[in-house]
Amino acid sequence: MVRKNKGYITLFLLPTVVLFIIVYAVSIVILFGTSFTEWSSGRKPVFIGLANYIQLFTDDSDFRKSFLNTGVWVLLQSTIHVAIGTVFAIILNMKEFYWKFARTVYMFPNIISGAAVGMLFLCMLNPDFGAVNSIVRLFGNADYAQNWFMDYTTAFFSVTMTWLPYAAVVTILILAEIAAIPESLFESARIDGASELKINFYIILPMLRNIIGTCVILAGTSMLQKMDIIMMTTGGGPGNETMNLPIYIYKTALMENNFGYSNSVGVFLIGFGLVFVLLCRNLFRIGSSQN
Amino acid sequence: MRILRKGLVVLKYAFVLLIILLSLGPFLWVLMASFKTNAEILNNSLGWPKSFRFSNYVMAFKIAPLSRFYINSVIVGIFGTLLNLLLLGMAGYVLARFQFRFKNLLMGAFSLSLLIPGAAMLQPLYLTVNTLGLYDKVVGLIIVYAGFGLPVSLYILSSYFLTIPKEMEESAYLDGASFIQTFFRIILPISKPGFGTAGVMQFLLCWNEFQFAIILTTGNQSRTLPLALYYFKSQFASDYGVMFAATMVVIIPSILVYILLQKQVVSGLAAGAVKG
């Protein structure tokens, strides 16, 4: 049977292999290859060794700011964001009257297009008619007109708030994991007289190590591709206040046509992601059995 | 101890309320505002609209070629999903069922694609799509999105195929069915739930994607809905109500898909995460 099917196996795999080559393999070869070249649109790439990388680290304040911002966002997302999602999952798991409603509604900001999320927040935080400023005005300060996204002091915070609280994916993953814990564990703890709070802390939480590790990786790496919301709200500004690596790649590649240079940033971004994933896998000992 | 416990309960409800408010608040506020006139928005930003008029929605479709963008989004969503499901269904089936040379190499390569942030591929993919003559074409977006969904769809589908007992195919072969007949007549129909889950995830990816839509298209002929918000932000800016209406037009389909197919979305997310 195996011999007879060999042709079909190739036939069934070939289209996906072609798709993989077009989208990923070719891209990676171009990315790494041209990251060592000086290359702008209409010209041929010229090999310049490590010059792009050296410039990135010694003489590029926009890159440093983008790297720093990306790092801070990865850190916030893999800690606070995951913590919010985990706590919410544990609360929802008590299955009180609101739990299904809350679970559904929490997902809304995660399921809609990032461009639309950006637009929602752009409206909410509009200095003239935005809901946030209107609420502040209700409480006395009638002239309050904070320009959240364009003011140096608030821009970073405002952009962060468009994703930090919205941890529905974490919540859903953790709820699924809790549902898989055998009921007998809780029973025996209850018989021993443990309170619900103690059960949450000493039984459920330790069982969640693997999935929390996975969530940390997912949440952290999602920050390596955040572009749509930033493009919609601040465009990386004011100045380079909210610039991150994806926005920086977009700017150098498609607005300055500095392809070789932007691809060296791309290589750096991939490396950054790999280091982060490996670090988390070790930290949470993902893959090894519980305890 | 009693006070502490009461405090915790209060804290719990405050937290739940805050989360619901943060999730639903912006959405409901923009929905309300999409029925208001400019004057209402400026003077009565927090209140109910005077009447539920749809003129903002009508205007939104007039100011921006939203219907063109809508059609593009629907085409990209449907065909990006169908292409992805067909290719990954075939590949996932073979990878789940048969042993052959290079299998592990192939699986390794496919799952490596999860580790590459999309932004790193911006310029290289632009070059590839351009070279293939697919720049500013809906087909280009369809192919690229089918590729982006490769790792998640492959994982969801091949895990589903693994749950199907081998006897199903063996009896089909005994009845004289060919390999292709067995796949399309026997395997596909019983794998509907797996395809449903992968399909919903893939559709949402196609519908919401922004960063490659922006670099692979130019002009209104092949742009998708998320881009409408970006490019017409300034045109809408003078007429706030229209801007709100346009935002709702983009949001509502995603929310409808989610509410109708919540089960698939949830299991799709879980499957994707296990892979990561």
Q: Would you state the pLDDT for residue B275?
A: 52
Higher pLDDT, A23 or A186: A23
The per-residue pLDDT of chain A, averaged, comes to 90
Strand, coil or helix: what is B125?
helix
Domain annotation covers residue B10? no
- Give the domain range for residue B99: 63-274
Domain annotation covers residue A106? yes
Domain annotation covers residue A189? yes
Instruction: Read off the pLDDT of residues B104-160 as tens digits, 9 standing for 90 and up.
Output: 999 889 888 888 999 999 999 999 999 999 999 999 999 999 999 999 999 999 989
Q: Would you state the pLDDT for residue A41?
A: 79
Q: Does A269 touch chain B (CB under 8 A)?
A: yes
Which residue is it, tokens 């449903």?
B196
Q: How confident is the model at residue B241 (pLDDT cuts 50, 70, 90)?
A: confident
Domain annotation covers residue A22? no
* From A150-154, A195-199, B217-221, B260-264, the region with the lowest mean pLDDT: A195-199
As a whole number of angstroms, the distance between CA B26 and CA B194 comes to 34
Domain annotation covers residue B269? yes
The stretch A115-138 carries a mean pLDDT of: 90
pLDDT at B273 over 90: no
Domain annotation covers residue A290? no
As for how many domains chain B has, the answer is 1
Crossing angle of helices B240-260/B55-63, nearest 10°?
100
Q: Would you state the pLDDT for residue A2?
A: 47
Contacts of A32 (CB under 8 A, 6+ apart): A263, A267
Q: Does A228 touch chain B (CB under 8 A)?
A: yes
Q: Would you state the pLDDT for residue B276?
A: 47
- B42 vs A contacts (CB less than 8 Å): 128-129
Chain B residue at shortest CA distance from A226: B119
Q: Under an 8 A CB cutoff, do A262 and B123 touch?
A: yes
Q: Does A142 touch chain B (CB under 8 A)?
A: no
Size (chain B), residues: 276
As a whole number of angstroms, the distance between CA A19 and CA A196 comes to 51
Dihedral (CA of A51, A54, A59, A65) sign: positive
pLDDT at B216 over 80: yes
Give me the residue from A104, A197, A214 closest to B262, CB to CB.
Answer: A104
Q: Would you state the pLDDT for residue A220?
A: 94
Q: Would you state the pLDDT for residue B4?
A: 84
As a whole number of angstroms, the distance between CA A79 and CA A99 comes to 24
Domain annotation covers residue B173? yes
Domain annotation covers residue B89? yes
Contacts of B14 (CB under 8 A, 6+ apart): none
Instruction: Read off the pLDDT of residues A140-157 as tens digits, 9 standing for 90 and up.
Output: 777 888 899 999 999 999
Which residue is it, tokens 């209060």?
B10
- B94 vs A contacts (CB less than 8 Å): 8-9, 12-13
Task: Enumerate the β-bridge partners of residue B78.
Answer: none
Give me the residue from A218, A228, A249 closest to B273, CB to CB.
Answer: A218
The stretch B246-271 carries a mean pLDDT of: 88
Q: Would you state the pLDDT for residue A291?
A: 43
Q: Does A246 touch chain B (CB under 8 A)?
A: yes
Domain annotation covers residue A125? no
Task: Report the CATH number that the domain containing residue B173 is assigned in CATH.
Answer: 1.10.3720.10
Task: Report the CATH number that the domain containing residue A234 is assigned in CATH.
Answer: 1.10.3720.10
Q: Does A38 touch chain B (CB under 8 A)?
A: no
Q: How confident is the model at residue A287 (pLDDT cuts 50, 70, 90)?
A: low
Domain annotation covers residue B1? no
- B115 vs A contacts (CB less than 8 Å): 270, 273-274, 277
Give me the residue from A24, A173, A250 closest to B116, CB to CB.
Answer: A24
Contact indicator for A254, B216 with CB cutoff of 8 Å: no
Instruction: Read off the pLDDT of residues B73-118 as tens digits, 9 standing for 90 and up.
Output: 999 999 999 999 999 999 999 999 888 888 899 988 988 888 899 9
pLDDT at A286 over 80: no
As a whole number of angstroms, the distance between CA A16 and CA B125 comes to 17
Percent of all residues in chain B with a pLDDT value above 70, rounded to a whole number: 97
Domain annotation covers residue A204? yes
Domain annotation covers residue B20? no
Contact indicator for B169, B186 with CB cutoff of 8 Å: yes
Q: Which of B136, B147, B138 is nearest to B75 (CA)?
A: B138
Tokens representing B15 are 């937290």
The stretch B173-177 carries a mean pLDDT of: 86
- Give the domain range for residue A247: 45-115+161-284
ipTM of the complex: 0.90
Domain annotation covers residue A171? yes
Q: Under an 8 A CB cutoff, do B30 and A123 touch?
A: yes
Q: How many CB atoms lie within 10 A of CB A71?
A: 15
Domain annotation covers residue B84? yes
Chain B residue at shortest CA distance from A255: B215
As for how many domains chain A has, the answer is 1
Q: Would you state the pLDDT for residue A46?
A: 86
Determine the straight-line distance between the first and last CA of chain A, rounded to whole angstroms. 44
Rounded to the nearest angstrom, the minimum Cα separation between B239 and chain A is 12
Domain annotation covers residue B203? yes
Relative to beta strand A46-47, strand A37-38 is antiparallel
* Alpha-carbon distance values, B65 to A18, B69, B235, B240, B245 (Å): 35, 7, 12, 17, 14
The per-residue pLDDT of chain B, averaged, comes to 89
Instruction: Read off the pLDDT of residues A73-111 as tens digits, 9 standing for 90 and up.
Output: 999 999 999 999 999 999 999 889 999 999 999 999 999
Domain annotation covers residue A128? no
As a whole number of angstroms, the distance between CA B253 and CA B271 comes to 23
Q: Under an 8 A CB cutoff, do B210 and A227 touch?
A: yes
Higher pLDDT, A104 or A4: A104
CB contacts < 8 A, A to B, total: 285
Chain B residue at shortest CA distance from A109: B23
- B258 vs A contacts (CB less than 8 Å): 107-108, 111
- Mutation for testing the A interface, residue in B4, B15, B19 having most A CBs under 10 Å: B19
